[in-house]
Amino acid sequence: MEYMLFICTDSTAPTTEPPVHTIEEWVVETTNGGTRRHGDRLRPANDATTVKLRGGRLSVTAGPFAKTTEWIAGYDVIECGDLDAAIEIAAKHPMAQFGQIEIRPMWPIE
């Protein structure tokens, strides 16, 4: 099953501990291990553009749709057997130590 990992910042997380692994090491390990399909970093939320279409009227707003201190810093798509395996993979991501990782199962269009 495929899962999307949203790699999020967390302004309340301590930053004094050195990371166990670098993000680059995690990417190499999970890609070579066959679980990571693709992923990338995202620009900060202030660089977002939000688009809505209501009643035929287009609304384009600079910035994210939600105003929070946390933001999605990147994403990874992984493939593994179940949610427990996805949790294990996400827990090894360095941002789990300094941010937070939201895991969502993919919902394929059939």
1-54 pLDDT, tens digit per residue, is 999 999 998 777 776 666 767 899 999 999 999 999 999 999 988 888 999 999
pLDDT value at position 9?
A: 86
State the CATH architecture for 2-105.
2-Layer Sandwich (3.30)
Sign of CA dihedral 103, 3, 80, 14: negative
Most confident listed range (19-23, 55-59, 61-65): 55-59
Annotated domain spans of the chain: 2-105
**Which tokens sit at 85?**
């395996």
Distance CA 97, CA 62 (A): 30
90-105 pLDDT, tens digit per residue, is 999 999 988 899 999 9
Instruction: Please tell me whether the overall predicted TM-score, pTM, comes out greater than 0.75 for this model.
Output: yes
